[in-house]
Amino acid sequence: MTRAAAGAGAPSDPSAGVEAALALWRGLAALPPRPSASPALERARELAAGALARTLRRHQLSEERFPLTPWEEAGPHALEGPDGAVKGHAFLGSPPTPPEGSRGRLRPMGEFRVWGYRPWRRWAVWDAAGRRPQAYVAERVDGPAVPQAVPPGSACLPRLAVGADARPLLERWHAAGAEVTVRVALARRAPTARGVNLVAWPPLPPRVVVGAHLDTVPTTSGAYDNAAGVALLLAVAASLPPALADTTAFVLFDGEEAGLIGSEAFCAAHAGALATASFVNLDGVGRGELLEAWIWPEALDEVAVAAFEDGRPDPLRLEVKFPPPPASDHMAFAARGVPSIMWTVDDQEIIHTARDTVDPRMEANVRRLVPVVASTVRRLSQAGRGGDAGVPGDPLVP
C-alpha cells in the first residue's frame, strides 16, 4: 500500500480525533489475538491504515515489508513430574522437544530477566548423567505463565514458561531429585511470511518519529498491550498543529512481540533520516496510576518531566527509568544513538493474558496521556539532536 499525500493536515477538532482513536482501540481489542502474519493482524492493519489516512492527510502512507518467521503454539506445553504436571507456554522461537519430551532432573540456574527488568527464576532440566541441559524452564515469580520471545543469546534448547503457582512442585521435584519431562510444541505458521510496518511519512524531513506496535502474542487480544498504545498514537497525531505534524513520522510496528524485528527493520531502512530525529515509543496504556517514562540518554529527564507537567494527567504520578529496560521498540532506536522516550502505564497483572481486555480505566488514561505525548513531540522537535535534549555520545548497548 502506498498513498500519495494530499489535502489538509490533522483534523481541526482534536476531541474528535481522540474519539476516533478510542473507536479504533475498541475495534482492535474486539479482534482475535493478532500475532505476526495472522489474519487478525492483517485486519488490524487495515483498520489502522484507514484511521491514519483520515487523520494524516499530508503524510505518505505505506507498508514496509521485512523478513519474519512467525510461530504459533502447536500443542500442549507442560512440565511433568512423578506426582503432577505444570502447564505453561512455549517461548516463541524455541525449538520443540522430541515427541516423548525432554527428560532429566531440575537444577536451579539463578535469575532470568524477562524484558530486561522483570525477574523470573531460571531452571534447567539436566540429563541423567548431569553433563548438559536438555531444556530450560523459566518461572515467573509474580503471576501466571505468559508466552515470550526467546531472548537474544539463548541456547538452542526447548524453553518453557511457567507461572508462580508452579513453585511448590518445582522445589519438591528438585529436592527429591525426581525425573521430570518437558514438552514444548511450536510450529512455524508460514516460513516464508513477511512482517509489515505501517508507516505515515511526513511531507518534511522528520524531527520526531512516534511509534507503537500493532501485533500481540498468541494468547491475548491486547487491549492494553498494545491497542491502547496504537490509539494513543492516533489521538496524538490528531492533536498536533499542522506545522508540527508535518515534521513528525508515525509508525505501527509489526514483530515487536517476536523480538523487536519490525523496529529493527525500520531503523535499518531509515538510518539516514534517523540521524537527525528523536523517537517516542507508546507501548501499553494500562489501568493503573503510575506513568513511566523510559528514557535514553539521561538528558531527556528534562523533556519527560516538562511534558508531564505540561499535560497534568491527574491522578497519574511520574516515574522516570534510566537506563531504559530493553523491553520494547525504543531499544532498536537507542541502540543506534537515537534519543528515545517510551511512555507506558505498566499493567503486569494482565499483560500477555486473556484478561487484557477493554477497561474504562485504560480509556481514561489514553485521554490523560494525549497532552503529555503531544508535549513530548513538541519539545523534542524544538530541541533537535543538538539542543536541550543532548547529543548522545555512544549508542545504548543492551
- The Cα 300–Cα 316 span in angstroms is 20
Name the least confident of 116-120, 175-179, 380-384: 116-120
Superfamily of segment(s) 2-70+192-383 = Zn peptidases (3.40.630.10)
Name the grid cell of 208. Answer: 520526531
| Res. 387 pLDDT band, cuts 50 70 90 | very low
Q: What is the DSSP string of 135-151?
A: EEEEEESSS-----BPP
Are the C-beta atoms of 250 and 377 separated by less than 8 Å? Answer: no
Are the C-beta atoms of 136 and 124 separated by less than 8 Å? Answer: yes
Residue 114 bridge partners (DSSP): 118
CA distances from 344 to 7, 34, 313 (A): 33, 21, 13
Q: What is the CA radius of gyration of the chain?
A: 22
With a cut of 80, say whether residue 384 has pLDDT above it.
no
With a cut of 50, say whether residue 390 has pLDDT above it.
no
- The Cα 362–Cα 357 span in angstroms is 10
Residues 6+ apart with CB under 8 A from 71: 35, 92, 93, 186, 187, 188, 189, 258
Name the least confident of 24-28, 127-131, 238-242: 127-131
With a cut of 50, say whether residue 391 has pLDDT above it.
no
Residue 192: what pLDDT? Answer: 65
With a cut of 50, say whether residue 337 has pLDDT above it.
yes
| Res. 174 pLDDT band, cuts 50 70 90 | very high
* Domain coordinates in residue numbering, the chain: 2-70+192-383, 72-188
pLDDT higher for 28 or 128? 28
Name the least confident of 113-122, 237-246, 293-302: 113-122
Residues 208-224: pLDDT tens digits? 999 999 999 999 999 99
Nearest to 188 by CA among 298, 93, 299: 93
C-alpha torsion angle, residues 235, 238, 241, 245 (rounded to 10): 90
Residue 189: what pLDDT? Answer: 58
- The Cα 39–Cα 34 span in angstroms is 7
Are the C-beta atoms of 55 and 10 separated by less than 8 Å? Answer: yes
- The Cα 63–Cα 52 span in angstroms is 12
Are the C-beta atoms of 74 and 97 separated by less than 8 Å? Answer: no
DSSP conformational letter for 224: I
Name the grid cell of 86. Answer: 505444570
% residues pLDDT > 70 (the chain): 91
With a cut of 90, say whether residue 66 has pLDDT above it.
yes
- The Cα 198–Cα 226 span in angstroms is 15
With a cut of 70, say whether residue 392 has pLDDT above it.
no
Residue 2: what pLDDT? Answer: 53
| 160-188 mean pLDDT | 92
Residue 389: what pLDDT? Answer: 43
H/E stretch holding 330 reads helix 330-334
Residue 126: what pLDDT? Answer: 97
Residue 155: what pLDDT? Answer: 86
Residue 4: what pLDDT? Answer: 45
Residue 188 bridge partners (DSSP): 71
Residue 112: what pLDDT? Answer: 82
- The Cα 176–Cα 174 span in angstroms is 5
With a cut of 70, say whether residue 388 has pLDDT above it.
no
Name the least confident of 54-63, 93-102, 373-382: 93-102
With a cut of 60, say whether residue 23 has pLDDT above it.
yes
C-alpha torsion angle, residues 137, 142, 86, 126 (rounded to 10): 20
